[in-house]
Structure 1
Amino acid sequence: MPFPTGTSRRRFLTAALLALGLTVASSGCNSGSETGGTPGTIKIGLLASLSGTYEAVGTEIRDGFELYLRTHDNKLGGHKIDLIVADEGNGAPTAVPAATKLLKQDRVHALTGIVGGGSVAAVAPVLAEAKIPFVGSNGRPELKDVSRIWTTSYLSDETGAAIAEYVRDNVKGEVFTIGPNYQGGYDQLRGFTDTFKEIGGKLANEDGKTLWTPFPQTTNFLPYFAQIKASGAEAVYTFYAGTAAVDFVKQYAQSEIKDLPLYAAGFLTEGGVLNAQGEAARNIYSVLNYSPDLDNAENRSFVAAWKEDHDGSPTTYAMASYDAAAVLDKAIGAAGDNPTPDQINKAISELGQINSPRGTWQFSKETHSPVQKWYLRQVRQDGRALSNTVVGDLATVGG
């Protein structure tokens, strides 16, 4: 058909421009619209250990976040989510380049996950440079600048601090402390030893200093158990996770100190490691901010949804990552149709109480970590399997 000329041509161009305007308006699903168009897609980066010592932990973190998306129509705050997952590996040397790609190449609106406290500390300067909020879902060390850093799990020294009084009151003698020589181990054990000493507890360690085992190469703990035996300790407090936790617990149960009560940060028996430890883990006491047997509506729904896709029960790693998604859901929804990273971060700072499978919690204004209750658990028989069963409440710690 020939192209219109004269008046007809002007009418044709006007109609074409109107049609183009309608097309542009209807395409707001890609970028958001101030006039009520469909909110645009938001990119979220998830960085977790999907290989190495803490692969099981990283997998739980990934699966917890993905569970929230699955049960919320793959949306956060009304926006479709493009979740970009990257491998943190064993720590900072692999975490930093992976985070840099997510922030600078993939240009995510927010970052979540990260298993290692050392990884968080190493990635923090990259986050500050990119001005991207981070909603972490595992232990975090204290940092000077947390203006864009939030944590849905805990600060790494809080775990030991929460159980210190219970150990003091229930052990009639000195306690030996042992753990891995990296950032997470330093923070976890310091939280226990500092609080324990402050409230009158005594350590059996030489010079009152924790015995550190080389990480990740230590797989034989028997020489260290000999030192514990020689110290005359009446109990042991420790932190290990992942494959190191399996080795430690199995060898402990076969060692000459097997009758000493063993207290630990809950990661020692959390998740798949408990299955691998088996009978060797029975009766271990641990402290954690979550257990799948907590009786509240949020937890019942969470556990039921988790079990649709998994054989076992959810862990604190999965729960904290699920909560990270919930935080981003609320914040992105409050930040408008086309939120920027700064707007998302500001919205997080204005959140109040969060309903969670662990119970209600909220961010501390100072540390940006949860103010939350901690629970005393013991490995006990639960039907056919051993389980971390809540046997009491401990302190409310955080902030």
Structure 2
Amino acid sequence: MRLALRTTRRNPSSRRTGTASRRAGAASLVLALAAVTGCSGDGGSGDGTLKVGLLVALSGTYKSVGTDMRDGFELYLDTHDGELGGQKVDLVVADEGDGPPTALPAATKMIEKDGVDVLTGVVGGGSVNAVLPLVERKKIPFIGSNARPGIKNLDRVWHTSFLSDEPGAAIAGYIADEVDGPVYAIGPDYQGGHDELRGFTEAYADAGGELANPDGETTWTPFPKTTNFMPYFADIAQSDAEAVYCFYAGKAAVDFVKQYAQSDIADLPLYAAGFLTEGSTLPAEGDAAEGIHSVLNYAADLDNEANRTFVADWMAEHDAAPTTYAMASYDAASVLDKAITQLTKDGGEVTPESINKAIGDLGQIESPRGTWQFGEKTHAPVQTWYLRQVRKDGDQLANVVVQDLATLGS
């Protein structure tokens, strides 16, 4: 069964009033505690206040992604009295921007100067690699909540989202079965794009599929400056492609989808990692997005108790359904909440080191996406991936779950 979103909306005015009151109360208490005792990330604050650093893109190409991640984490706090595991939270938010040149100084300030006990968020894989040396040096846990590149040292690294190659790997077999002929693969030329498309092309080849690209290699578009995709679509039209698979997100996704619908290849089936039509990109794309198939670890119409609560709380404050970005960040807060609750229940002291160990001891986690748990090898979710299609839901377009695709993670 899938969740009918129209039946879950609560009274926005009462929800906002309650949220504002809780946020103001929590903020006042945190400020008062900070004024009296101060906070330090070295070994924990020691005063019942947890300082959390949230690094997300609040400007640039992925602003919409980062905004949802911020709002998802804050929603969890708002609905849990501003606490995680009984600890009042001092949330420090910083702008990741478009990658390492802006992410690193922002993270440096939060970790070195602000002294956060935990770091979470981070949109881009390049940004993750840039800030990890800081995490290791200060010995604090990092709970990433968006795409993650390959990482060798996972001692203090956890992710509530996915590995960057998993979306493409999850849908590759389905596309190989559905498309009678070669598929054209295209994506942005940066680390995240390489990881995303590698997951698809390797799994697609294993399933017996062939690429329609020249020399059988993915076509890369310069990032973030590519806004005109028409020349690339002209190349696809000259190939023998029977379908297209892509990875784009944020503003680039809107440009890609709208131009695709106006191009000579508009009749070719378009498959994508779900970020192509996720969140604010979908209404911006409009009818051009209808019919697109995508793969993702979440859809707002999943019918489970945790998702019903999450969607209702989210839509009481927002005019659109929640996204995987908001969900993963919400789950990052949930992971901290559960880990610290268990830690204090067992009589342990709340420090960055003890929090990190407690996260590793968590078992199954009830989530809006469905039940998942951290993989022992990857410290990323073992979770179900879903095939979605953009369809009309009343007067609006929505990403509707079509079927389960695969469970990935280890």
**Is the TM value for this pair above 0.5?**
yes
Among 367, 372, 375, the alignment partner of 2:378 is 367
For 1:195, what is the secondary structure of its paired residue?
helix
Q: What is the number of residues matched between the two proteins?
A: 368
Q: How many angstroms does 1:334 deviate by?
A: 2.6
Which residue pairs with 1:351 in the alignment? 362
Among 260, 268, 275, the alignment partner of 2:283 is 275
From the CA coordinates, give the structure whose radius of gyration is larger.
1
% same residue: 66
Measured against aligned partners, the alpha-carbon deviations of 1:343-396 in whole angstroms (never above 9, x if no partner) come to 000000000000000000000011100000000000000011000000111010
Among 43, 48, 70, the alignment partner of 1:40 is 48
Q: Distance in 2 between matches of 1:238 and 1:121?
A: 24
Measured against aligned partners, the alpha-carbon deviations of 1:114-151 in whole angstroms (never above 9, x if no partner) come to 00011111111111111110001001011111110000
For 1:60, what is the secondary structure of its paired residue?
helix
Among 382, 389, 398, the alignment partner of 2:400 is 389
Residue identity opposite 1:309 in structure 2: E
For 1:240, what is the secondary structure of its paired residue?
coil
Residues 84-233 of structure 1 correspond to what in structure 2 (within 5 A)? Answer: 84-233=92-241
**TM-score by structure 2 length?**
0.88
Among 50, 64, 80, the alignment partner of 2:72 is 64
Query: Is residue 266–residue 286 contact of structure 1 (8 Å, CA) maintained in 2?
Result: yes
For 2:148, what is the secondary structure of its paired residue?
coil
Residue identity opposite 1:325 in structure 2: A
Indicate yes or no: 2:323 matched with 1:290: no
For 2:109, what is the secondary structure of its paired residue?
helix
Distance of aligned partners of 1:156 and 1:183 in 2 relative to their CA distance in 1, 3 Å threshold: same
Q: Distance in 2 between matches of 1:94 and 1:30?
A: 27
Misfit runs of 4+, over 4 Å: 27-31
Q: Distance in 2 between matches of 1:281 and 1:298?
A: 28
For 1:375, what is the secondary structure of its paired residue?
strand
Q: How many angstroms does 1:308 deviate by?
A: 1.0
Residue identity opposite 1:331 in structure 2: A
Residue identity opposite 2:72 in structure 1: G
Residue identity opposite 1:365 in structure 2: E
Q: How many angstroms does 1:285 deviate by?
A: 0.1
Among 320, 331, 339, the alignment partner of 1:331 is 339
Residue identity opposite 2:212 in structure 1: A
Measured against aligned partners, the alpha-carbon deviations of 1:74-100 in whole angstroms (never above 9, x if no partner) come to 000001000000000000111011111
Residues 10-49 of structure 1 correspond to what in structure 2 (within 5 A)? Answer: 40-49=48-57
Which residue pairs with 2:258 in the alignment? 250
Query: Is residue 174–residue 202 contact of structure 1 (8 Å, CA) maintained in 2?
Result: yes
Indicate yes or no: 2:307 matched with 1:299: yes
Q: How many angstroms does 1:206 deviate by?
A: 1.0
Measured against aligned partners, the alpha-carbon deviations of 1:48-97 in whole angstroms (never above 9, x if no partner) come to 00001100000000000000000000000001000000000000111011
Residue segments in structure 2 that go unaligned for 5+ positions in a row: 1-34, 40-45
For 1:335, what is the secondary structure of its paired residue?
helix
Q: Distance in 2 between matches of 1:199 and 1:53?
A: 33
Which residue pairs with 2:353 in the alignment? 342
